Chains A and B, each alone.
Chain A
Amino acid sequence: MSNPVIEARNLSKTYGGGVRALDGVSFTVQPGRIVGLIGPNGAGKTTALKAILGLTHVEGDLKVLGLDPRTERDQVMEQVCFIADVAVLPKWLRVSDALSYVQGVHPRFDRARAEDFLRRTDVRPRARVRELSKGMVTQLHLALILAIDAKLLVLDEPTLGLDLLYRRAFYDTLLNDYFDHERTILITTHQVEEIENLLTDVMFIQHGRLVLDAPVEQLATRFSQVLVAPDRAAQARALGPFHEREVFGRLAMTFDGRDPGQLAALGEVRTPSIADLFVARMQEKKS
Chain B
Amino acid sequence: MNSRSFPMLVRREFWEHRGLLWAPVGTALMLVVLAFLGRAATGGLQINVDGREADFLTAMAGAAQLKFFGVFIGALLVPQLVVALIVLFFYLLDCLYTERRDRSILFWKSMPVSDAATVLSKACTALVVVPLLVYALSLVVSVLSFAALALKLSGTPYAGIGTWHTGAWLAVQGTLLLNLLVASLWYAPVAAFLLLVSAWAPRAVLLWASLPPVLLMIAERTALGTAEIAAFLGYRLTAYFEAIGAAGARAASPDTAAQVAVIGDLYNRISVAPLLANIDLWLGVVAAAVMLWGAIRLRRWRDDG
A contact residues vs B (CB 8 Å cutoff):
50, 53, 55-57, 73-74, 77-78, 81-84, 87-94, 97, 100-102, 104-107, 141
Contacts and interface: CB of A to CB of B under 8 A. Distances in A.
Contacts of B99: 90
Contacts, number: 75
22 contacts: A50-B303, A55-B106, A55-B303, A56-B301, A73-B114, A74-B112, A82-B110, A83-B110, A84-B106, A87-B103, A88-B105, A89-B107, A94-B15, A97-B15, A100-B11, A101-B12, A104-B5, A104-B8, A105-B5, A105-B113, A106-B112, A107-B2
Nearest to B7: A104
B107 A84 contact: yes
B106 A106 contact: no
Interface in B111-126: 111-114
B300 to A, nearest CB: 8
Given A55-B303, A74-B114, A105-B113, A88 B7 contact: no
B107 A100 contact: no
Contacts of B255: none
A93 B5 CA distance: 18
A73 B113 CA distance: 10
B50 interface: no
B112 A78 contact: yes
Nearest to A80: B110
Given A77-B112, A104-B7, A90 B301 contact: no
A56 B110 contact: no
B104 interface: yes
A77 B12 CA distance: 19
Contacts of A106: 111-112
A78 B4 CA distance: 14
A67 to B, nearest CB: 12
B55 interface: no
B110 A105 contact: no
A53 B2 CA distance: 19
B296 to A, nearest CB: 12
Contacts of A89: 104, 107
Contacts of A90: 16, 99, 102, 104, 107
B244 interface: no
Contacts of A104: 4-5, 7-8, 11
Contacts of B114: 73-74
Nearest to B12: A101
B9 interface: yes
Contact of B102 (A55, A91, A97, A107): A91
B111 A74 contact: no
A264 B124 CA distance: 72
A73 B111 CA distance: 11
B64 to A, nearest CB: 51
A88 B8 contact: no
A105 B102 contact: no
Nearest to B110: A82
B1 interface: yes
Interface in B1-49: 1-2, 4-5, 7-9, 11-12, 15-16
Contacts of A101: 8, 11-12, 111
A101 B167 CA distance: 42
B15 A92 contact: yes
B122 to A, nearest CB: 15
Greatest chain B CB density within 10 A among A57, A81, A88, A94 is at: A88
A53 B110 CA distance: 8
Contacts of B112: 74, 77-78, 105-107
Nearest to A109: B111
A107 B104 CA distance: 21
B109 interface: yes
A55 B109 contact: yes
